[in-house]
Amino acid sequence: MSTEPAAGPGAAVTVNGAARALVGARPPVTALDWLRGLGLTGAKEGCAEGECGACAVLVARPGIDAPTEWTAVNACLLPAASLAGQEVVTAEGLGTPAALHPVQHEMAVRGGSQCGYCTPGFVCSMAAEYYRPGRDGFDHHALSGNLCRCTGYRPIVDAAEALGAPDAGDPLAARTTSAPPPTLPHHEGGWVRPASLADALALLGEPGAVAIAGSTDLGVEANLRGSRPGLLVAVDRLDELRGLTVADDVVEIGAALTLSEVERRLSGQIPLLDAVFPQFASRPIRNGATIGGNLGTGSPIGDLPPALLALDAELVLVSPAGERVVPLTAYFTGYRQSVLAAGELVARVRVPLPLATTTAFQKIAKRRFDDISSVAVAFALDLDAGTGTVRRAAIGLGGVAATPIRATVAEQALVGVPWNAEGIAPAAALLAAAGTPLDDHRASAAYRRAMLGQALPRLLATTAAEGVRS
Amino acid sequence: MSVGEARPHEAAALHVTGHALYTDDLVVRMPHVLHAHPVPAPHAHARMTRLDPGPAYAIPGVVRVLTAADVPGVNDAGTKHDEPLFPGEVMFHGHAVAWVLGETLEAARLGAAAVAVDYDPLPSLVTIADAIAADSFQGAQPVLARGDVDAGLAASARVIEGVTELAGQEHFYLETHASLAQVDDDGQVFVQSSTQHPTETQEIVAHVLGLASHQVTVQCLRMGGGFGGKEMQPHGYAAIAALGATLTGRPVRVRLTRQQDMTMSGKRHGLHATWRVGFDDDGRLQALDATLTSGGGWSLDLSEPVLSRALCHIDNAYWIPNVRVQGRIARTHTTSQTAFRGFGGPQGMLVIEDVLGRCAPVLGIAPEELRRRNFYVAGQTTPYGQEVRHAERIDRAWQQVLDTSEFAVRRKEIDRHNSQSPHSKRGLAITPVKFGISFNFTSFNQAGALVHVYKDGSVLINHGGTEMGQGLHTKMLQVAATAFGLPVERVRLAPTRTDKVPNTSATAASSGADLNGAAVRDACRQVLGRLEPVRERLGAGAAWEDVVRAAYLDRVQLWAAGFYRTEGLSWDAATMSGSPFKYFAYGVAAAEVEVDGFTGAYDVRRVDIVHDVGDSLSPLVDIGQIEGGFLQGLGWLTLEDLRWDTSDGPHRGRLATQAASTYKLPSLSELPADLRVALLPHATEDGVVHGSKAVGEPPLMLAFSVREALRDAVGAFGASTGSTSGVSVELASPATPEAVWWAIEKVRG
C-alpha cells in the first residue's frame, strides 16, 4: 500500500548507549520481550498489564522542561516495533555492580531491595524522576506504578529522598539538553508508524487496522486476552494530534498528548484535571496513555471522561471525510462503544472556558495509588458567593453505568438551591439514584449507590472547610 | 565483626543493576528451549470425557502435548497422592488438564487453545460456607484442648459468642512460578526452579518421572519472593518441565503468567470461626470454645500443618485456662490453599484478636487494658502444654511501645479530634504478637551445610536454605565470616542445590537462619578445629592465608559438612500437645488511623513497632523483614480482596481477581505516614545461633494493630463513642474501605 512506509531494514534502537538492530520485533513481541531477548533480563514481567512496574525502562521522549526527558514506561505493554529509532536505558545501562548509579547506590545501601525482582523497575522509575529537569524534591508519584512485595516501601522512599541532583558530567542528564530522537515513519510486521495523519487515516481504513498510541490498553488486551489485531497504526507521534492551545474561550488538547504531558503542560489551568491526574493510574501509565486513547476505548470506568463530562467537553473527530465536533455527552453509546466510526479518530478535546468556580473529583477505590475506580464523581459547580446558591451544576459519573454519564436530574435539582445541607438534600438523593450500578469484585452496587449519595454532602463539607470562591 | 553488623543484602548490587539472575532469566542464555503452556479447564468441577491433543499439532511450532498418558512414574504433584499432575476430574476453574510445548510461547499458547477437551460439569462448592453446608471436609480434624471448657464457661461472669470470618491472601511474589529443566547424556535431570523446597521438588520430579532421587538435581538460584507460596506449589510445574525435557530431549521452560499463577496456585487459607468465650468480672479470659474451619481448596497440600499452627496460635499472647478448639479443613473447588507467611498462625491469632476487639466494649474495658490484663506471665503454659518462655518480653515490648508512641497523650488528642470532626474519626490501638518458632513437625527441624576453604584462604559456603529476599544468604555469609574471623568479602555463597546439601527441609517457618546458621557454624567449627594445631604451630599472629596454606600442605581436610538439629522439641499430633517450638518471638505494634465518614476510606497515620529478634544477626535485614511483614499483613487485613465467582453462571468458581489490576496489594500509598521500628533490647536468645531469633513470619501479625485501630475509629462514629460505649464493632476482613463504610453505617444506626 502506498501510504505504508517501507519496512525498516537496518532500523535500530539505541539501548544503553549502543545501537541494536531491531530484529524479531514484530507484534506481539513487546519491548520487554525484545530487551530480554538481547540478554538484558533486568527488566522483568511481573503482571504483563502495566500494574507492577517490574518491566519499567527509560526512554528518551520530547520533554516539557527540557528538550528531552528520560521517561519511565512499562516495557511489557509497548510493542517492540515502536522503539525503532528510539533511545532506551535499562537498569543494566544505569550502572554496574562495580560502579553503581546514584539511584542504585541509594537503593542498595538502604535495604531497598530484598528479593530484588521488582528492583530494576523501581530503579528505572526512580531514575526518571532523578533526571526530571527542574524537579524540586522527589515526587513520590514517580513510584506509584511500581509494586514491591518485600520491603514495605520505607527503605525505597528513603533512597528516593536521599538523592541529590545529577553530577555535572552525568551523561544521561546531559542527554536531556539536546533534541529527542526523531520518530520516523517505520513499518515492522503488523505495526506501522505513518508519516502523517492523512496516511494514518488511510491505513485505518484497512480491515483489521487499529489505532495504537501508548498501548496501555491494547497492550493489556494482547498480553492477557491474546488480542492480535491485523495492523497496528501508531498515531502517538503525529504532530496533527499533539497540539495544545489555550484561547479565551476554549482549551484544545491534542488527542495524542500523553496524560503526563497534559498534566504538566496544563498544570494549574484546569483545576478539575489537576485533581484527576494524580489519581489516574500511575506515572508510567500516564507517560504512555493518551487523552484520545482514554476516550477511544470508551471504558465506563476511565477517570477522565467523568471529569471531561463535568467540564462540558467536546470532541473533534477526524476521518478521511474531514472533521466533526461531538459533545462528549453524545459520544458514548454503550459499553465500550461510541459514535466513533470505523477509521475515525479522536483528534482533539475541547474544554470550553470560563471554567466553573468550584470543581472536585471524588474517586472511590480500594487503593489510593493506581487503582480502578469503583465510582468516580466529577463536579463543576458555579456557586454564587453573594446569595450562597448554586448557579450552575455539571456532574460527571463513572463506574455506575455502561458508559460514563452526566447526572442531569441531580444537576437540575441543584440549580438555584442554597449551598447548605438542607439545600442540597433533594439533589443528593437524586444523585444517589443515578445510573445503574452493578455488583462486582471492586464494590457492591449498594456501596456504589451509597457513595453517589455521599458525594454532594462530602463536597459541601470540603467547600465549607475551604470557603466558597467566586 | 560481621554478625550483628547492619549490611545490605548480599546481592543488592546485582539486584539494583538488573544483573541478578532468576530462573526464567536463564532461558535466553540457553539454546533450543521449549516453552510450556497449560490447557485450563473452564469449569470449577467437571469430569473430563475426552482429551484430544490432535488439533494442537496443526499449530505451527507446537512440538508436544503432555497428558497423563506420558507420565512414566506417579501422576501426582504432591506428597499426599491427592493432587494428580494431570487430572481426570477437574477440581477448580483453571485446572490444567494438559500442557503444550512449543518452539515459542505463542505457539504453545495457540496449541493449548486448540487441544480439544470435552467436560461433563459437576456441582461445585466454592466457599467455606458451601463446604460446611455440604459437610465437605478433608484431612485430620484435630482438637486442641486444655482444662474444662464447659465448667469454665459456666463459671464465667460474661459469656459472649460470635462468628469471625477472614479471607485468604494471594502471595503475589513478583516472580511467578518458574522452572527450567534439562536432561544430560546419562538421563540425569537438572531442574532449575523457583522453589523454597528444592529437596521436595526433587522428590516430586523423581516420582513423576519414575526415577530415584539421585537422578534428579534441583537448583534454586534465588526467588523473586516466596512467602510460603513456593514451599509446596512449585513441584508440579517443575515436574511438567522435567517431563517435557525427558520426552523431547530439549530444555523445557515453565513460567506462569500472573493470571495463570493467580488462577492455579494456592493461597493463604481463609477461615471461618465460631466461638464462645468466657470472662471473669475483671475481664480475664476463663474459657474459649471455638471451631475453626479453614478453606483448604481441592486437595490437602499443607492444609493440615497450617491448621495445626492456627490452633496452636489461637492463644496469641493470652493465658486462657480452659480451651477447646476444633479444627477442620473444608474441601472446595478452588485452588489448593497452602503455606503463606505465618502458616495458619495469623488466622488463629486474628480470631482471638477479633474476639477481644469485639468484646472489650461489651465488657466496658478499654481494648488495650483488656489485652494487657490477659497476657501470659512467667510459668504459664500454652493450651498445648509448652511453657511460655520469656513471657515478660510481652510486657516489656508493650510498655516500650506505650512509652515511645506516647500512647496515652495521643489517645486524648484523638478523642479531642473525634469530638470536633463529624466526618473524620481517628482510631488508636495496640496489639501484641507471640509466635512459635520451629516446624511443628519435629523431624523438619534439621539442616545441613557445606563449607569449603580453598588453598588461597577464600571460603565458599553452601547450605540447604533458599534465598527469596529474606536475607538468609546475607546472614549465612555473616555467620561464616564471623566464625573464621574474616571479612565478609572473603566468603562466597553458592546457589542452593540438592546435590550439594541433600535432604533439606523447606526454607519456611521462619527457621532458615536458625537451622542453616547453626549448620554453617558447625561446619566452620569443624574446619577451625582441624586448623587449630596448625595455627598453634604458626603462632597467634599468623595470617589466615598462611594457616590455610600450611594446613593444606599438612594434608588437613579444609572442608566440612555441617549439620544441626534443634534439640528439646516434642510434638504429638494426635493429642495436639507437646513443646513443638524452640522459643517464641514477640512483638508489639501501635497504630493510628483516620477514617473518612463519607466513604470508609482511611489513612494509616502512624505505626510504632517494637519487635523481638533476639540479638540481631543482621539489623538491616531484620528491620526489612519487620517492615515488609507488617505491610504484607496490612495488605491482607485491609486491602487484598480475593473474590471468586460464586454465582451459578457459566464462570462459577473462577477467581474474579486474578490479575494485578483487580487484586490490589499495598503500594507506596499504603506506607504509613510515620513508621517507627525498634528492635527489643536485651533480648539474647540462648541456644540459638549468636543469640538471634527468627524474623520472617512474626512481624506480619503486627498489622493487627491497624485493624483494631480501624475498629476503634469506626466505633467513634457511633452516637455514644469510646471504648466503653458497650457497642461492639464488627469489622470484615479484609477491612476494605467498603467494609469499613458498612461498619460505620451499622454503628451510626
- What is the secondary structure of A22-86 as a DSSP string? --S--TT-BHHHHHHHTT-TTS--SSSSSSS-TTEEEEEEE-SSSSEEEEEEETTTSBGGGGTT-
Inspect the interface and report whether the beta carbons of B601 and A364 lie closer than 8 Å.
yes
Which residues of chain A lie closer than 8 angstroms to B630, CB-CB?
Answer: 152
Q: Which domain CATH number covers A24?
A: 3.10.20.30
Would you call B738 an interface residue with chain A, using a CB distance cutoff of 8 Å?
A: yes
List all residues of chain A from 25 to 44 with a beta carbon under 8 Å from chain B: 28, 36-37, 39-44
d(CA B569, CA B73): 36
Is residue A185 domain-shared with residue A307, that is, in the same domain? no
Q: Is the pLDDT of residue A4 over 70?
A: no
List all residues of chain A from 67 to 96 with a beta carbon under 8 Å from chain B: 90-92, 94-96
Is A88 inside any structural domain?
A: yes
Which residues 6+ apart lie within 8 Å of B642 measured at CB?
B167, B168, B169, B170, B267, B270, B655, B657, B663
Is B606 inside any structural domain?
A: yes
pLDDT at A298: 83
Is residue B425 domain-shared with residue B492, that is, in the same domain? no
Q: CA triplet B211, B216, B222: central angle to 5 degrees?
A: 150
Is B286 inside any structural domain?
A: no
Would you call B103 an interface residue with chain A, using a CB distance cutoff of 8 Å?
A: no
Is residue B593 domain-shared with residue B535, that is, in the same domain? no
Domain end, chosen from A290, A321, A355, is at A355
| Contact (CB, 8 A) for B668 and B411 | no
Is A214 inside any structural domain?
A: no
Is residue B454 domain-shared with residue B541, that is, in the same domain? yes
Q: CA triplet A307, A308, A310: central angle to 5 degrees?
A: 65
Which residues of chain A lie closer than 8 angstroms to B620, CB-CB?
Answer: 111
Is residue B558 domain-shared with residue B641, that is, in the same domain? no
Inspect the interface and report whether the beta carbons of B668 and A40 lie closer than 8 Å.
no
Return the number of other C-beta atoms located less than 10 Å from residue B399's C-beta. 13
Task: Give the mean pLDDT of chain B.
Answer: 97
Is A247 inside any structural domain?
A: yes
Is residue B455 domain-shared with residue B552, that is, in the same domain? yes
Q: Is the pLDDT of residue A467 over 80?
A: no
**Number of domains comprising chain A:** 3
Is residue A247 domain-shared with residue A284, that is, in the same domain? yes
The larger pLDDT score, comparing residue B723 to residue A39, is at: A39
Inspect the interface and report whether the beta carbons of B657 and A441 lie closer than 8 Å.
yes
Q: Which domain CATH number covers B455?
A: 3.30.365.10
Calculate how close chain B gets to A175, using CA atoms only, in Å. 21
Domain end, chosen from B534, B565, B596, is at B565
Long-range contacts of B442-445 (CB under 8 A, 24+ apart): B442/B569, B442/B570, B442/B571, B442/B580, B444/B505, B444/B506, B444/B509, B445/B505, B445/B511, B445/B515, B445/B565, B445/B566, B445/B569, B445/B582
Confidence at A11, pLDDT banded by 50, 70, 90:
confident
The larger pLDDT score, comparing residue A466 to residue A231, is at: A231
Confidence at A463, pLDDT banded by 50, 70, 90:
confident
Is residue A154 domain-shared with residue A44, that is, in the same domain? yes
d(CA A239, CA A255): 10
Is A219 inside any structural domain?
A: no
- Report the candidate in B235, B98, B267 with the shortest Cα–Cα distance to residue B168: B267
pLDDT at B603: 97
pLDDT at A469: 45
Is residue A36 domain-shared with residue A179, that is, in the same domain? yes
Domain end, chosen from B541, B565, B589, is at B565
Domain end, chosen from A355, A376, A399, is at A355
Would you call A125 an interface residue with chain B, using a CB distance cutoff of 8 Å?
A: no
Is residue B602 domain-shared with residue B711, that is, in the same domain? yes
Q: Which domain CATH number covers A285?
A: 3.30.465.10
Domain end, chosen from A355, A375, A393, is at A355
Inspect the interface and report whether the beta carbons of B656 and A54 lie closer than 8 Å.
no
Question: Which of B7, B9, B16, B697 to probe by mutation at the A interface, max A CB count within 10 Å?
Answer: B16
pLDDT at A369: 85
pLDDT at B590: 98
| Contact (CB, 8 A) for B637 and B169 | no
| Contact (CB, 8 A) for A302 and A336 | no
Would you call A220 an interface residue with chain B, using a CB distance cutoff of 8 Å?
A: yes
For A115, the closest of B224, B627, B745 (CB atoms) is B224
Searching chain B, which residue's CA lies closest to the CA of residue A222? B106
Which residues of chain A lie closer than 8 angstroms to B594, CB-CB?
Answer: none
For B627, the closest of A51, A115, A152 (CB atoms) is A152
For B599, the closest of A114, A223, A364 (CB atoms) is A364
Per-residue b or e along B455-472, where b marks 16 or more CB atoms closer than 10 Å to that residue's CB? eebbbebbbbbbbbbbbb
Is B142 inside any structural domain?
A: no
Would you call A369 an interface residue with chain B, using a CB distance cutoff of 8 Å?
A: yes
Which residues of chain A lie closer than 8 angstroms to B18, CB-CB?
Answer: 40-43, 90-92, 119-120, 123
Q: Which domain CATH number covers B37?
A: 3.90.1170.50
Is residue A188 domain-shared with residue A54, that is, in the same domain? yes
Q: Is the pLDDT of residue A1 over 50?
A: no
The sign one gets for the Cα dihedral B77, A148, A57, B110 is positive
Is B336 inside any structural domain?
A: no
Is residue A365 domain-shared with residue A347, that is, in the same domain? no
Inspect the interface and report whether the beta carbons of B25 and A41 lie closer than 8 Å.
yes
pLDDT at A470: 37
| Contact (CB, 8 A) for B312 and B142 | no
d(CA B407, CA B424): 20
- Report the candidate in B590, B318, B304 with the shortest Cα–Cα distance to residue B429: B590
pLDDT at B725: 63
| Contact (CB, 8 A) for B8 and A111 | yes
d(CA A305, CA A416): 26
For residue B729, the enclosing domain spans 342-437+579-748
Average pLDDT over residues A46-58: 98
List all residues of chain B from 219 to 238 with a beta carbon under 8 Å from chain A: 222-227
Is residue A450 domain-shared with residue A429, that is, in the same domain? yes
Average pLDDT over residues A350-362: 97
Return the number of other C-beta atoms located less than 10 Å from residue B494's C-beta. 14
Is residue B432 domain-shared with residue B457, that is, in the same domain? no
Is residue B599 domain-shared with residue B727, that is, in the same domain? yes
Q: Is the pLDDT of residue A10 over 70?
A: no
Question: Which of A367, A370, A375 to probe by mutation at the B interface, max B CB count within 10 Å?
Answer: A367
Inspect the interface and report whether the beta carbons of A46 and B175 lie closer than 8 Å.
yes
For residue A258, the enclosing domain spans 241-355
Which residues of chain A lie closer than 8 angstroms to B658, CB-CB?
Answer: none
Would you call B17 an interface residue with chain A, using a CB distance cutoff of 8 Å?
A: yes
- Say if the ipTM goes beyond 0.90: yes
For A49, the closest of B20, B601, B660 (CB atoms) is B660
Which residues of chain B lie closer than 8 angstroms to A149, CB-CB?
Answer: 171-174, 225, 227, 628, 632, 665
Is A206 inside any structural domain?
A: no
The pTM score is: 0.97
DSSP calls for A411-439: HHHHTTSBSSHHHHHHHHHHHHT-S----
B697 is catalytic: yes
Spacing of C-alpha B376 from chain mean position: 26
Q: How many CB pairs under 8 A join A and B?
A: 253
Per-residue model confidence as pLDDT tens digits over B417-448: 999 999 999 999 999 999 999 998 999 999 99
Instruction: Give the containing element (helix H, strand E) for B51.
Output: strand B46-52
Per-residue model confidence as pLDDT tens digits over A139-151: 999 999 999 999 9
β strands within B417-500, DSSP E: 424-437, 446-453, 459-463, 491-493, 496-497
For A451, the closest of B223, B599, B621 (CB atoms) is B599
- Report the candidate in B339, B267, B354, B346 with the shortest Cα–Cα distance to residue B310: B346
Which residues 6+ apart lie within 8 Å of A69 measured at CB?
A60, A61, A62, A63, A128, A131, A132, A133, A176
Calculate how close chain B gets to A3, using CA atoms only, in Å. 30
Is B595 inside any structural domain?
A: yes
Searching chain B, which residue's CA lies closest to the CA of residue A282? B667
- Report the candidate in B169, B189, B180 with the shortest Cα–Cα distance to residue B271: B169
Which residues of chain A lie closer than 8 angstroms to B601, CB-CB?
Answer: 364, 368
Annotated catalytic residue within B10, B170, B685, B697: B697
| Contact (CB, 8 A) for A45 and A33 | no
d(CA B278, CA B282): 11
Is B307 inside any structural domain?
A: no
For A117, the closest of B225, B660, B668 (CB atoms) is B225
Which residues 6+ apart lie within 8 Å of A435 measured at CB?
A397, A400, A401, A405, A407, A448, A452
Is B162 inside any structural domain?
A: no
pLDDT at B721: 52
Searching chain A, which residue's CA lies closest to the CA of residue B625? A151
Q: Which domain CATH number covers A412?
A: 3.30.390.50
Inspect the interface and report whether the beta carbons of B15 and A113 lie closer than 8 Å.
yes
Is B466 inside any structural domain?
A: yes
Is residue B60 domain-shared with residue B209, that is, in the same domain? yes
Question: What's B214's DSSP letter?
Answer: G
Is residue A42 domain-shared with residue A181, that is, in the same domain? yes
Distinct helix (H) and strand (E) counts, chain B: 18, 27
Long-range contacts of B53-56 (CB under 8 A, 24+ apart): B53/B98, B53/B100, B53/B115, B54/B116, B55/B114, B55/B115, B55/B116, B56/B100, B56/B111, B56/B112, B56/B114, B56/B115
For B258, the closest of A46, A104, A107 (CB atoms) is A46
pLDDT at A368: 84
Is A220 inside any structural domain?
A: no
Per-residue model confidence as pLDDT tens digits over B514-562: 999 999 999 999 999 999 999 999 998 999 999 999 999 999 999 999 9
Spacing of C-alpha B635 from chain mean position: 14
Inspect the interface and report whether the beta carbons of A51 and B669 lie closer than 8 Å.
no
| Phi, psi dihedral angles at A144 (to 5 degrees) | -75, -15
- Strand-pairing partners, residue B272, are B165, B293
pLDDT along chain B (749 residues), means of 10: 93 98 98 98 98 98 98 96 97 98 98 98 98 98 98 98 98 98 95 98 98 98 98 98 98 98 98 98 98 98 98 98 98 98 98 98 96 97 98 98 98 96 97 96 96 98 98 98 97 97 96 96 98 96 97 98 96 96 98 98 98 97 98 98 96 97 96 98 94 97 98 90 71 98 95
Would you call B79 an interface residue with chain A, using a CB distance cutoff of 8 Å?
A: no
Would you call B257 an interface residue with chain A, using a CB distance cutoff of 8 Å?
A: yes
Is residue A162 domain-shared with residue A142, that is, in the same domain? yes
pLDDT at B139: 98
d(CA B556, CA B130): 66
Question: What's B353's DSSP letter?
Answer: H
Enumerate the H helices of B598-720 as residue ranges.
Answer: 619-638, 704-715
Q: Integer distance in angstroms from the first to the last C-alpha of chain B?
A: 62
Is A117 inside any structural domain?
A: yes
Is A212 inside any structural domain?
A: no
Per-residue model confidence as pLDDT tens digits over A176-213: 999 999 998 999 889 999 999 999 999 999 999 999 99
d(CA A19, CA A39): 15
Cis peptide preceding B734, ω within 30 of 0? yes
pLDDT at A466: 63
Is residue A283 domain-shared with residue A409, that is, in the same domain? no
List all residues of chain B from 585 to 624 with a beta carbon under 8 Å from chain A: 598-599, 601, 620-621, 623-624
Is residue B710 domain-shared with residue B727, that is, in the same domain? yes
Average pLDDT over residues A73-90: 97
Task: Give the mean pLDDT of chain A.
Answer: 95
pLDDT at B749: 84
Is residue A314 domain-shared with residue A180, that is, in the same domain? no
Calculate how close chain B gets to A320, using CA atoms only, in Å. 36
Is residue B346 domain-shared with residue B466, that is, in the same domain? no
Cis peptide preceding A354, ω within 30 of 0? yes
**Number of domains comprising chain B:** 3
Is residue B419 domain-shared with residue B496, that is, in the same domain? no
Tell me the residue length of chain B: 749
Would you call A156 an interface residue with chain B, using a CB distance cutoff of 8 Å?
A: yes
Is residue A322 domain-shared with residue A454, that is, in the same domain? no
- Report the candidate in B495, B436, B439, B509 with the shortest Cα–Cα distance to residue B466: B495
